Structure 1
Amino acid sequence: MTGEFWADVIDDYEKLFDTEEGYDTIFYVGENGNVVHAHSVILRIRSQYFRTAFSNKRVDKNNGMFIFSKRNIDLQVFKIILKFIYCGNVKLTDLQGPEILKIIIGSEEFNVQQLINYAKKFLNENKLKFLVSQPIEIFKIIHKNSSLFTKLWDDYLEIICVKPEIIFSSKKFPSIDESLLKDLLKCKAYKIEESKIWENVLKWGISKHPTFDQNINNLNKEQLKILKVTLNDIIPLIEFDYFDSTDVYQKVLPYKKLLSKEMINYLLKKFLDKSNSIRCCHRTRYHKVSPSIMLTPYHCAVFANWVDKESNSHYKIHNNPYKFKLLISKHVDKGMNLFPVFQSALSRAKATLIVARIKDSDKLVGGYNPNGFSRQKSNKFARDSFLFYFGDKDEVKSGRCGYVSQPENAIYYNERLEPAFGNGPDLLCKNDGNWTSKPTSYPSIGIPSNFEILHYEAFQVIKDCEISNV
C-alpha cells in the first residue's frame, strides 16, 4: 500500500516560500534592488540555472549568504517565477499581456522550461485580448526581446495588418521608439489608408519635441527643419504611392519642407502628369493585390512562398515581398472568345500568374510562369513554374502546388495561341472557357481533367526590388 500526500508537501513548500525561514540566499530584484530571500537547496534541485551557478561557485557570498543581483527583472514577476520553482504552481489569469511576456523572459533566464511552455500556451490562447488591451506595451517588449518572440512578432503583425487601429489609434503610439516604429512601418499589408499612417507619423515626430506646439500647422520654419531631421529615416518608409491627389494636396504639400525635392517632384509628376502611368487604384497596403475578385493578400502570401520555394509559414501578409499587378480580370460568358485581350496582356509581362475559378464551385486553379508567354506558337523552358489548386477559395490552407518535373516542356502556346502548361497539356487554358488537365510534365495535384471556368485573372508578379523598374 502506497500513500501519496503531494498536496501537503506543496503546502509546506509554499509556507517556506512565504515565511523565508532558514534562508541562505539573497536576491536584489528590480530597479530599486528589492530584497527577496530564498533557499539554495531548493533552487539547486528545481533549476538547472541555479544548480550550475552554485556548483561552479559563480555566486557572490557575504556573511554566509549567497548573493544574486537581478535588477533586470520586475519584483512581481520574479516572485511568480520563484514561487513556481518552490511549489510548481502559478496563476496567470489575473495578469496582463506585458506581465506574461516578462514571466517568459525571466523564466528563460532561469531555464524554467515548464513555466515557459505554460506561459506561452496561455499567451497564445489570449493573444488578441492582450494585444487590444495594451498594444504598445506588448510591442515594446516583443521588439526589445525579438530573439525570444520571433513567431509572436509575426503573429501580432498579422493581426494588426487587418486591425491596424489597434496600434495607430492608441494614445500611447507617440511613446514608441524610432527603432520599433521603423520595423512597424516595414509591414507590407496594413488595412488602413496610407495617409492616416502619415498623419500618425507626423504626430509621433512632433511628440519627440515637447517644447513644440503639438499642432503641426503652428510650427515655424526652424521647427519644421528640426522635425525633418527627426523624421529623416522614417519618411522613406511611407508608401506615398497609396495616396490620392486630395491626400497629397491636403496632407503632404503643406509640409513639403519635410520631404526631399526628389519626393516632391515624384508626387507632382504622379498626380499632375496625365500621361504618367504610375498610379495606384487603392489607398492601403493591404490591397497591394490590384482589385482582384478572387485573391486576397493571404492567397498572395501563399503564392510568394511557392514562387521562392519556401515553407508555407515563411512569407505572411505583413512581409510578402511580391506585388501582384492585375493585368486582366474577365467574367466568362457563354460563346465568348476569352483570349485576344488575355494573350496580349500576358505577352507584355515576364513572370505571370494565371488564376481561374471553376464554374459552380469555390475551387481555384491556375499556374505560375516565371519567364513570360509568347505571341507565337512555341515551347518555353521554365525551371520554377508550377500549377496550383485550391479546393476552397476561402481556405488558403486547401492550396496545393506542383512544380514542373520536365522544365523543357514547362510552357507553350498551341496553334490557337492558347496558353498551356506542360506536355499533357497539364493545364490548357482554352479559348472557349472549357479548360483541361492531363498531368505529364507536372505532378498530379487534384485538378479536374475537364472543367468550365467562371472567371479568370492574370497578374504580373513583381518582387519589391524590381518595382522601381516596372
Structure 2
Amino acid sequence: METQLHDRLSNDLTQLLKSGVNYDISIEVGEDGANIYKVHSIILQSRSPYFKNKFDEISFNENHVKVLKLPNISVKVFDVIIKYIYSGKVLLEKLENSFIFDLLVASNELELDELVEHLQSNFVNSNASWSSLNFAQIYRTSYQDKNLKIIRVCNNIITKYPNAIFESKNFYFLPEDALVSILKQDDLQLEESRIWEYVIEWGKAKNPTLPNSLDKWTSDNFSSLKKTLNLCLQHIRYFNIPGEDVVKKIYPYQQLLENQLFLDIASKIMAPNVPISSLVLPLRKLTVTDIITNEHALEISSWIDKQEKTYTENNPYEFKLLVKGSRDGFDVETIYNICDAVSNTVIVLKVEDTGEILGGFNPLEWNKDNNLWKNTDDSFVFSLKIANLKKSILSRAFKDNTWAIDNCPRDSSLSFGKALCLKGNLKTEKKGFCAVCGGYSKRIRSDEFITPVNFLSGVSPEFLFSVEEYVVFKILPKVR
C-alpha cells in the first residue's frame, strides 16, 4: 500500500521558497518591479508550461540568474500563486471575491491548469451574486481569453441577469464581438425594444461626435452609426417588437435599417398574415412573462421571504400565471373572478406611456362577493428596476395595517391601501393611481405621479394611468 506524505514535502518546499537558497530566477512582480521573488526554475518549470517557455527565452545575467518581469500581476496575487506552486495549497475562505477573480485571471495567464480549474469551480458554486454584480468586468476579461472557461458562467449570468451587463457603467466599453455574442442568445431575458435601445446607446458611445439632438442628425451621422452597428443590427428580433415601440423607438432611426427590412416591419404591424421577404429570427424565450424576467421574479421572491439580500439563483417559488390582460381581459372584475379564494398572489402591471413596472403582493385570499378591507403586515407594493429606474423600490405594509388590502369587487376596484389603486378596465379606462398613503412605507412612483391624500374632489387626471399589460401570479413553493 502506497503511503502519502504530502504535508512534509509541502512544508519543506515552502521553507525553500522563503529562504531563497540556490535560487536561479528573479521574478519582478507589479509595476516598476514592486516586489522581487527569488525562486527556482526547476520547480516553476515542472509546475507550469508558461514558466518553462519563458525561462527558455531568457539568458542568464552576470550573476547566473535569469530575470523575469510580470508587471501586470499584483504582488498580493502573485504571493498566493507562488506559495501554491511550491506547496500545492491555496486558502480561499478569507479572500474577497474580486481578489479571487484577479487570482483566476493571473493563474490562467501563467497556465496553472489545476489552480484555474479549482478557482473556476469556486466561482460557479459560490460567487453567483458577486458575479452578477460585476458581470461586465468578468465578461470582458473572459471573452478576451477564450481559454478561460469561466465564460460559461458569464453566459448563464447573461440569460438570468441581463441588466448586470446592459446597465453596467462598463457596458459601453464592451468590444463589438462580445456584444454580438450576447445578442445572439435566444434566452436573453429582456424585452426586444429595450435591447434595441441599449444597442443604439452602445453605438452612440462609439461615436461621441454625434449631435445630442436627433433633429440635428445628418445622413452622414446615420451612416456612421449604421457602420458601427452593422453586425449588432443583424441580431435584433425586430418582428417581436410591439407596434407602438416600433413607432417610438425604431422609426426615428429607420435610416439604420435596409429599406426592405423597415417596410417588412411596418407590413407585419399592419397586415400580420401577409408574407414578407426579410429574415424573421425566432422569438426570445422569456421564461416568466413578457413583463417580468427571472431576475425580477427572484427579487420578488426575496421580498416575500423578507430577505435582506436578493436571491440570485435557485428561486424557492414557482410563479404560476393565473391572469394575463391580453389573454383574459383587462377588467378588474376578471381578476376577482379568476382569483376568488386564492391567496399569495402577485399583481404586476406595465404602465402605459412611462413603461414603469408596478405591482403588489397579497398574502390573503381575494373575495369576489364582498367589499372588504383586509388587515395584513405581509403585503407589499413595488416598482421594478427597468432602464429608467436603476433600482427597484419596495414598500411594505406597516404593522397592524387595517387597510392594507382594499378588496372591492362591487366597485370594480382593487387597492393596496392607497399606495397602488386599480379600477375598472385597466387598459381602456385611465383610472389607476398611486397616492400619498400612510399604510405603506414608501412611494413607488416619483413625486410627479403621486396624487395628494384628499380624494373628496376626485383624483386629478395628471395622476391617473392605464396599463399596457398586466399579469397575476399564484406564488407556490417549489417541490424539491
TM-score, normalised to structure 1, is 0.51
Quote the Cα distance in structure 2 between the aligned partners of 1:219 and 1:121.
49
**Aligned-partner Cα distance in 2 for 1:247–1:195:** 7
Q: How does 1:356-435 map to 2 (within 5 A)?
A: none
Identity %: 24
Q: C-alpha offsets along residues 415-434 of structure 1, whole Å, 9 cap, x if unaligned?
A: xxxxxxxxxxxxxxxxxxxx
Aligned to 2:196, which of 195, 198, 201? 198
Deviation at 1:290, TM superposition (A): 12
**Which deviates further from its counterpart, 170-179 or 112-121?**
112-121
- Classify 1:8/1:230 alpha carbon distance in 2 versus 1 (closer, same or farther; 3 Å): closer
Deviation at 1:154, TM superposition (A): 3.3
Residues 214 and 30 of structure 1: CA distance in aligned 2, closer, same or farther (over 3 Å): farther
- 2:284 equivalent in structure 1: 285
2-side partners of 1:216 and 1:61: how far apart?
63
Classify 1:190/1:275 alpha carbon distance in 2 versus 1 (closer, same or farther; 3 Å): same
Contact 2:27–2:39 under 8 Å retained in 1:
no
Residues 25, 41 of structure 2: 8 Å contact kept: no
Write out aligned runs for 1:211-250 (5 A): 211-213=209-211, 219-250=217-248
Deviation at 1:248, TM superposition (A): 0.5
Superposed CA RMSD: 4.0
Partner of 2:163: 165
Matching residue of 1:146: 146
Q: Which stretches in structure 1 are left out of the alignment for 5+ residues? A: 297-470
Counterparts in 2 of 1:57-456, with a 5 A limit? 57-63=56-62, 64-71=64-71, 73-93=73-93, 95=95, 99-149=99-149, 152-213=150-211, 219-273=217-271, 275-276=273-274, 285-287=284-286
State the alpha-carbon separation in 2 of the partners of residues 219 and 93 from structure 1: 54
1:263 and 1:254 map into 2 onto residues whose CA distance is 15
Measured in 2, the distance between the counterparts of 1:52 and 1:147 equals 19
How far did 1:129 drift? Answer: 1.8
Q: Relative to structure 1, is the Cα distance of residues 138 and 61 closer, same or farther in structure 2, using a 3 angstrom cutoff?
A: same
Q: Closer, same or farther in 2 for the Cα pair 1:218/1:87, shift >3 Å?
A: farther
Give the drift of 1:111. Answer: 4.5
2:132/2:161 contact within 8 Å kept: no
Q: Answer yes or no: is the 8 Å Cα contact 1:46–1:85 preserved in 2.
A: no
Matched residue type, 2:204 = I
- Residue 205 of structure 1, CA deviation: 0.7
Residues 193 and 283 of structure 1 are in contact (CA less than 8 Å); yes or no, is this contact kept in structure 2?
no
One-letter code of the match for 2:143? H
Per the TM alignment, residue 183 of structure 1 is displaced from its structure 2 partner at its CA by 0.9
Deviation at 1:257, TM superposition (A): 1.5
Q: 1:209 to 1:269 in 2, by over 3 A?
A: same
Shift of 1:68: 2.1
The amino acid of 1:78's aligned partner reads F
| 1:270 alignment partner, SS class | helix
Alpha-carbon offset, residue 82 of structure 1: 1.2
Question: Which residue in the other structure is 1:431 paired with?
Answer: none
TM-score (structure 2 length as normaliser)? 0.50
The alpha-carbon deviation at position 67 of structure 1 amounts to 2.0
Cα drift, residue 14 of structure 1: 5.5
Residue 263 of structure 1 aligns with an amino acid whose one-letter code is: L
The count of corresponding residues between Structure 1 and Structure 2 is 284
Question: Matches of 2:269 and 2:53 in 1, distance apart?
Answer: 66
Q: How far is 1:157 from its partner?
A: 1.9
Distance 1:214 1:16, change over 3 A: farther
Alpha-carbon contact 1:98-1:141 (below 8 Å) kept: no
The answer to whether the 8 Å contact 2:192/2:238 transfers is yes
Deviation at 1:161, TM superposition (A): 1.5
Shift of 1:116: 2.6
Q: How many angstroms apart in 1 are the aligned matches of 2:50 and 2:288? A: 53
What is the identity, as a one-letter code, of the residue corresponding to 1:182? V
Distance in 2, matches of 1:259 and 1:215, equals 20
* Partner SS for 1:266: helix
Q: Deviations over 1:275-312 (max 9, x none)?
A: 42679xx9961249999xxxx9xxxxxxxxxxxxxxxx
